[in-house]
Amino acid sequence: FADFLRTTPVQIPYLTTYIHCEFPESKQGQSILSMDKRSCQDIYGSLAFLTCFFLSVTFTVLPLLKHLYGWDMWYCLQVFWAGYKGYSQLAGADSQHLYDAFVVFDTRNQAVRDWVYNELIVNLETSGYRRFSLCLEERDWIPGLSCIENLHNAVYNSGKTVFVLSSGFNGGETVNGVIRQAFFLVQQQLL
């Protein structure tokens, strides 16, 4: 600024009498034009370097971390925030589920239905060293509850969810609503 004031062709009134240094205190009251320009550099050079370095690293590293690990950082922040607010795991959350697995399949497709009841259930529930407890839509859902309530109970009362998908006879069969809703509930449970 002092170099600019010395070299500018613009006439600045009261330049030598009213424009004085205020900081640092050792230079307070001196005319800006009579000061050595390196005297302030000794005080603020390292501070300016550290500030610029910190800002440049912050504005390059934070966007990179957000791009690479944004969801992970958000999830960890939510977990820490919940712990900070005093939330804890529900009592009995570590206990065994009512079912080992919930089997989701298209009950309208006869081939899939036969395979689930005649192969999958026979091999997992009734034979073998370890017998699994499976939850099935037609067998274990409570009559009178809505479909979404039964689906919610089946997903959250089961340790795993098994999806049995088929392409149908012509290959163009779409996934029915129960399978789609079960997928969304399982995805929500994972989050």
Region 33-46: what's the mean pLDDT? 66
pLDDT greater at residue 44 or residue 127: 127
Total count of domains within the chain: 2
Pairing relationship of beta strands 158-164 and 134-136 according to DSSP bridges: unpaired
**pTM of the complete model beyond 0.75:** no
Which pLDDT belongs to residue 86?
Answer: 79
Is residue 59 in a domain? no
How does pLDDT run across 43-100, given as a tens digit for each residue? 666 788 889 999 999 999 989 988 898 888 888 888 888 888 877 665 545 556 788 8
Q: Show the tokens assigned to 111.
A: 């081939």
Which pLDDT belongs to residue 178?
Answer: 77
Which pLDDT belongs to residue 85?
Answer: 83
> 83, 84, 134, 80: which is closest to 105 by C-alpha?
134
The phi, psi pair for 161, rounded to 5°, reads -130, 125
The domain spanning residue 148 has which CATH number? 3.40.50.10140
Region 158-168: what's the mean pLDDT? 82
Average pLDDT of the chain? Answer: 80
| 104 and 186 belong to one structural domain | yes
Is residue 52 in a domain? no
pLDDT band with cut points at 50, 70 and 90 for residue 29: confident
* CA 154 to mean position of chain CA atoms: 26
Is residue 86 in a domain? no
Sort 114 into a burial class: Cβ within 10 Å, 0-12 / 13-18 / 19+.
Answer: exposed
Structural domain of 22: 1-31
Lowest mean pLDDT segment, chosen from 11-15, 71-75, 89-93, 124-128: 89-93
